[in-house]
Every structure is written in structure tokens, then in C-alpha cells.
């Protein structure tokens, strides 16, 4: 008996639907945010009924947590796939560019939580916090390397740079620019990267 038989057709279908639910939840989260997102919204978007949703996720909190964990995994993957030939600053820039493009494409940032409810929920979630710690370790390393090489301002505490870097991935200016100007996405990304690393004054 092949080990693959462990994954029956039914299990595969179950996994597929689970992913579809997470996709829908991610999309609704992006437009309405946690508090305004209802389980009916998600069920409707997937095309199933609410009780079926609860067969996959035992609560709204668990559903949202899993969706955000999946996003975080995407970010961690992205870090792993970075071209090793890049210097630390180029890596950080590439990663921020990726995050901005995900958002412009309708996705969520990997640091989405402005709502106190969601923030507390995630900080109690071990699975989520383990991934945050992993990602944070890697980014912290990049920041410190870049500071040593004088690619990032060595006069700033690493924490300040790291938190500000995270903040850029969920910068509301991105939404404003997309909504109120006719700038193409590529220009938005380019300008946001300039502002993040060179600041509003420029003249690097």
C-alpha cells in the first residue's frame, strides 16, 4: 500500500475546499477588515453554507488566524527564495517590493493588524507567533548586516528600522495612491520604495 494512499480523494477535496475558504477569507479581510467580515460573507464567497464553514474552522478567530498564518508563510517562503547574490539592502528592498505588489493585487500585508482585537488574538496564537519570530529573526539579521555595511542608517536603533520596515508593508499611502491617483502600480511601488529608503527629502 503506497504511502500516498494516506491522502484519499476525499482528503484532497477537503484540503482544496479549505484553501478556497482561506482565499475567500483573505479577500474579504482585505476589503472589509476583521470586524466587518461576517462568516456569512465568507460562506457566500466560497459558495457553501455557514455550518460547512464551521466543519473546517471551529470559529471566526481560528479561520482568520489560519488565513494570516498562510500569508506569513508566503512571506517566509519569499525570504528563502531571495537571490543570495543580493546585498542585505537589496534583499530588504526586494522583499518590501514583493509585499507591496501583493497588496496592490488585492492581497493583505503580512502585518495586517491595526485592530486591537486581531492583534491580541494573534499574540495568543502560538502557531502564528512562531512564524513571526522566525521571520523577524531573518529580517533582523538583514537589517543588522545592512547597518554594519552602512547601507542602512547605522545611527538608528535596529528596532526602529525593523518596525518602520514592517510598517511600510502596510503603509496606508499605498491605498490612497491606488484609490485617488492614476499612478500605475509599478510607479506606486517605485515611489514607495524611494520614500521608504531615501525618505521624503531624498538626496541619498
Residues that bind DNA (CB under 7 A): 10, 14, 17, 36-40, 48-52, 54-56, 58-61
Helix (H, G, I), strand (E, B) or coil at 148: helix
199 binds a second copy (CB under 8 A): yes
167 binds a second copy (CB under 8 A): yes
129 binds a second copy (CB under 8 A): no
- What residue 59 binds from DNA, a second copy, none (CB within 5 to 8 A, per partner kind)? DNA
42 binds a second copy (CB under 8 A): no
194 binds a second copy (CB under 8 A): yes
The nearest distance, CB 56 to DNA, in angstroms, is 7
d(CA 27, CA 98): 18
* Helical spans, DSSP H, in 105-184: 116-123, 126-148, 158-169, 172-180
d(CA 26, CA 10): 24
- What residue 130 binds from DNA, a second copy, none (CB within 5 to 8 A, per partner kind)? none
Which phi-psi region, left, alpha or beta, contains residue 156 (left: φ > 0; alpha: ψ -120 to 50)? beta
The answer to whether the CB of 74 falls within 8 A of the CB of 135 is: no
176 binds a second copy (CB under 8 A): yes
Amino acid at each position: 500500500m503506497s504511502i500516498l494512499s494516506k491522502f484519499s480523494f476525499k482528503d484532497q477535496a477537503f484540503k482544496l475546499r479549505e484553501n478556497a475558504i482561506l482565499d475567500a477569507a483573505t479577500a474579504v479581510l482585505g476589503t472589509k477588515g476583521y470586524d466587518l467580515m461576517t462568516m456569512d460573507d465568507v460562506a457566500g464567497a466560497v459558495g457553501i453554507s455557514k455550518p460547512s464553514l464551521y466543519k473546517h474552522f471551529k470559529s471566526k478567530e481560528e479561520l482568520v488566524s489560519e488565513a494570516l498564518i498562510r500569508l506569513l508563510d508566503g512571506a517566509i517562503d519569499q525570504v528563502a527564495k531571495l537571490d543570495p547574490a543580493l546585498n542585505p539592502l537589496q534583499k530588504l528592498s526586494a522583499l518590501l517590493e514583493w509585499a507591496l505588489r501583493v497588496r496592490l493585487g488585492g492581497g493583505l500585508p503580512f502585518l495586517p493588524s491595526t485592530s486591537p482585537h486581531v492583534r491580541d488574538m494573534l499574540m495568543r496564537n502560538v502557531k502564528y507567533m512562531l512564524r513571526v519570530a522566525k521571520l523577524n529573526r531573518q529580517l533582523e539579521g538583514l537589517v543588522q548586516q545592512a547597518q554594519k555595511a552602512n547601507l542602512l542608517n547605522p545611527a538608528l536603533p535596529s528596532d526602529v528600522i525593523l518596525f518602520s520596515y514592517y510598517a511600510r508593508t502596510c503603509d496606508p499611502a499605498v491605498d490612497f495612491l491606488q484609490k485617488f491617483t492614476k499612478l500605475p502600480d509599478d510607479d506606486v511601488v517605485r515611489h514607495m520604495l524611494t520614500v521608504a529608503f531615501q525618505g521624503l527629502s531624498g538626496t541619498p
